[in-house]
Structure 1
Amino acid sequence: MKYLLTNQETERLSFRLVTMADFDTWLPFFNRKEIYKYLWLDETKTEKELCESWFKKCLTRYTENRGGLNAVILKSTGKMIGKCGLLVQDVENEKRLEIGYSFLPEYWHKGYATEAAICAKDFGFENEFDKDFNSNIISMVHVENTGSAKVARYNSMTFEKQVPGLGNHVFDIFSITSEEWEATQNK
């Protein structure tokens, strides 16, 4: 299973594969209707249906070797607080390696998303996964998701371009090249 951050750690976080045992922990993520547009979620579905779809997509990525979101565990409590990982995405008919992240709302604004995203970026470059994707890694952020855009910028990424999504959604692509990443490692 390439691209997965299994058994990686940061100061406050650890990463492992998502399992169906995480379902009830993740279900409250879908209580916040304002995030639906950021993630192309279907507002006509129930929270349980959305969570089922989310888990199916995550576990399918694992089996198809397209990366995936790992469970992010807060080491001080042992609780799952979010998901973060490297995802193989198709952006304008080009395969790109994306850092994806989502956290339960009670853990927003505490730096966890940034800490996890930096770990994912470093893991991708350290393992030279970027070489499969034109030597860069991206984050794809809905244009109205200012919190995730901040995480991308804190992760040393810069705005690359805007791309259309499903319906009338628009996404900003933030990216960092292997050369830019190496320059940050020498500081």
Structure 2
Amino acid sequence: MEYWDIYTQDGICTGRKVKRGDAMAIGDYHLVIHLLILGKDGRLLLQKRSDQKESFPGYWDFGIGGSAVSGENARQCAQRELQEELGIHMDFQQRKPVLRSYGQHSLVDFFTIDYAGELADLTLQKEEVSDVCWADLETVHLMCKQGIFIPYQPHLLALLLDMHKQQGLHCSS
């Protein structure tokens, strides 16, 4: 049973919780993270979502994503999701999101990191990820046109890449 903390649109935790899957009231939000991973050559680490995923099964995605469980902040959620989905341990204690966006009932914090490891070094969580690959932005746009990539807003990846360059977050495997 997974519970989420409920936040205001300003990102203030209300002290209330909601069980995953239960309806949320208007003006209530839960915390979600997305993590864009860049290789040493600047390409993106893409993940193919497991066929068992509830939303967009079998689609390619630009990185880690998940909801913060009750008691977690965005940094803790990003660190946990990265470890669970790809087997990469990285300390997020001093990291900040590069961007926050809003969904209907979600506050979405986007993080970016550099990863110097190889695909063979990854341990995929099969319930979440069925495959991984490196791709440049042009290839991602082609995959979007082919209908095999999650249909994000067209300029989101370019914005995240620009924000990553400005923040200058660098780490190794």
Common fold by TM > 0.5: no
Relative to the length of structure 1, the TM-score reads 0.28
